[in-house]
Structure 1
Amino acid sequence: MSTTNRQIHLVSRPQGEPTADNFKLVESAVSALAPGQVLVRNHYLSLDPYMRGRMNESKSYAQPQPLNEVMIGGTVGEVVESRNEHFKVGDKVVGYGGWQEYQLVDATQRGVLQKVDTTHIPLAAYLGAVGMPGVTAWYGLVKIINPKAGETVVVSAASGAVGGAVGQLAKVRGARAVGLAGGPDKCRQVVEELGFDECIDYKQHPDVKSLSAALKAACPNGIDGYFENVGGKILDAVMLRANAFSRIAMCGMISGYNGEPIPMQAPQLILVNRMKIEGFIVSEHMDVWPEALKELGTLVATGKLKYRETVADGLAAAPEAFLGLLKGKNFGKQLVKLI
C-alpha cells in the first residue's frame, strides 16, 4: 500500500503582508525508494522569520521559494524506510524536509540529513536551541559582538528562539544582557525564565526618544554589543545609546519583511562611535557549527540554556502559525507538530 504525503505549497507571492491564501495543502503518493534513498517521517517542522523573505522574488542572499512546490523549512523526524547503509529505520534525523509529513531524501548527498542523539536533548530542540536558531545566536554573539565580561549586550526580539539564546550566551560570558520584547508577559519570561538582567517592552515606547530613554535607564553604562533582529526605531534607539567601538550583529530586519522602508535616522553615529556593523547568514559559516553545537548541546543537556516552544498541531496549521510568528504571537521557538 502506498503512503500518502501531505504538503503545503507556496502558490502565490504575497503583496505586502502574507495571507493564508498564499498557501495550499496538497496530497501526493510517496514514490518507491531508489538505492541510496531514505524515507523520513517528519515529527516537527520549524517556522522561521527568514521564510518571509524567501517568499518574495526580490534579490536576496538566497534563491526565492519556487511557486507550486513544497515550502522550505527545517525538520526533525525518524527514518521509516532506508536503502542507504548509513541510515537505519528508527534513526532520528534533522534536515530541511520542508512543510510536509514525509521527506524522500537522497542520503548519498553529504549533509542533507544528520543523525541526532535524543538521549539528553529532546528531538524538537534540534530545530531551536541546538539547531539553526541556536547557532545563529552563537555566531552573532561570539564571532561578531564578542562580549567581554562586564560589557552590556542588547538583544531585540529577546523572547524568540534566536534572541533568547543570545542573552543567555552573553550571560555565560560574564556580560550584562538586556532584551527588547513585545508585551509584559514576554518581558517577564525573558527576565524570570531566561535570566536576562532587564527587558524593555518596546510596545510601551511609541517613538525613538521614549525607547532611547528606556535603554538609557536599563543600560547606564551604554551599549557595547547589539544583536539585531528587527530594525526600524529599535535600531535607531540603540544607536543613540551605543558606546565607542560598539559592535552590531545584523541577523534580521523583520520590520521591513513586508516591503516597508527601513530608514536609519542617524547613520553618522557609525563613524562617531567607530562602530562595527556586520551582517551574516549562518549557513555560510558551517565551519563553526561543530564548535557552536557542542556548547549549545552541553548547555541544553545540563539545563543551563533555557528555551520555550510554541507548538501548532498538524500540518494544516502551519500557514496560520507562520502568519502569527511574523506578528510576534509566538513565545520562543515556533514549531508545527506533524505526528
Structure 2
Amino acid sequence: MNEIQGIPGFTAWVAIEVIGNLYPTSNVFISATAGGVGMFAGQLAKLKGCRVVGSTGSREKVELLKDEFEYDDAFNYHKESDFDAALAKYFPNGIDLYLDNVGGKMLDCVLNHVNTGAHIVISGMMSQYNTIPTEREGVKNLLNMVGKKVKMEGFLCGSYLNRFGEFAQQMEKCIKEKKIKSKHQIHQGIESFFESFVSLFSSSNIGKVIVQVAP
C-alpha cells in the first residue's frame, strides 16, 4: 500500500475531511506538521482552499513545509519563546481549525486565538506522552470555548474504518494527479527500532518513519 494510503494518511484524512468541517478560506493551524499525520493533513486542507500554517521543530522543516508542501507559513516552535505572540503573528484573523498533535502549552495558547465556532481536532499529544499524570501540563484557557462556542474533539482512526474505502479512493485520485507529496525516513534492521521510535518525539524525524527488517 502506498504510504499516503496508510494509517498516518488515514488519520489526517479523518481529521480534515470527516471531522474538521472546513470551508474555503478557513484558517488552519497544524502542530507537528512535518510528522506522518501533519504533512498530509496540511496538504489536504490546502486542497480545500484553506490558509494553512504549521509548527515544527527545525528551520529545515519550516522550509520543507513552505517550499515543497506549499504551506502558507510555518514556524519553528523551538525558536518561539512566546507561543501566544507567535500565534497572534501567524493568525491575525484567528484560527478556525486546530489539528492538535502535541497538546500542552501549544493547545492552551491556541485557545486564546480561536474564532467563534472554531473546531479543535485532537489526534495526539506528544508533549505529554513521557510525563506521569501528576506532572502533565494543565489547560487553563478552556473558558474561551464557552464564549466562542468552540468544539474540541479527540478521535481514533479505528472508529472510522467504515470510511476507509472512501479515503482510499480519494487518495488514489490525489496520487495519480500528484496533488499530495510525501516524505519518509527508512531505518534499516530491527536493531534500529529504538532509535526510530525515539525520533518520533525528538523532532528529528521527517514524515513517516519506517523500520525495514527484510530486503
Q: Report the TM-score when normalising by structure 2.
A: 0.94
Q: Secondary structure at the match of 1:288?
A: helix
| Higher relative contact order (CA closer than 8 Å, sequence separation 6+) | 2
Q: Is residue 36 of structure 2 the alignment partner of residue 135 of structure 1?
A: no
2:124 corresponds to: 252
Residue 325 of structure 1: which of 182, 187, 200 is its match? 200
CA drift at 1:141: 1.1
Q: Distance in 2 between matches of 1:249 and 1:142?
A: 12
More strand by share: 1
1:309-324 to 2 correspondences below 5 Å: 309-324=184-199
Q: Secondary structure at the match of 2:111?
A: helix
CA drift at 1:237: 1.6
Q: Which runs of 5+ in 2 are unaligned?
A: none
CA contact (8 A) 1:324 1:330 kept: yes
Which runs of 4 or more aligned residues in structure 1 lie more than 3 Å from their structure 2 counterparts after TM superposition? Answer: none
CA drift at 1:249: 0.7
Q: Report the TM-score when normalising by structure 1.
A: 0.60
- What do residues 37-82 of structure 1 show as CA deviations (whole Å, max 9, x unaligned)? xxxxxxxxxxxxxxxxxxxxxxxxxxxxxxxxxxxxxxxxxxxxxx
Q: Secondary structure at the match of 1:244?
A: strand
Query: Which amino acid letter does the alignment assign opposite residue 313 of structure 1?
Result: Q
Residue 19 of structure 2: which of 140, 144, 153 is its match? 144
CA contact (8 A) 1:255 1:262 kept: no
Identity over aligned residues, as a percent? 32
CA contact (8 A) 2:184 2:209 kept: yes
Q: Is residue 35 of structure 2 the alignment partner of residue 160 of structure 1?
A: yes
Q: Distance in 1 between matches of 2:76 and 2:201?
A: 17
Q: Distance in 1 between matches of 2:130 and 2:71?
A: 30
- The number of aligned residues is 211
Q: Secondary structure at the match of 1:328?
A: coil
Q: Is residue 81 of structure 2 the alignment partner of residue 222 of structure 1?
A: no
Q: Distance in 2 between matches of 1:147 and 1:200?
A: 22
Query: Which amino acid letter does the alignment assign opposite residue 110 of structure 2?
Result: V
After superposition, the CA RMSD in angstroms is: 1.2
CA drift at 1:252: 0.2
Q: Secondary structure at the match of 2:55?
A: strand
Query: Which amino acid letter does the alignment assign opposite residue 147 of structure 2?
Result: V
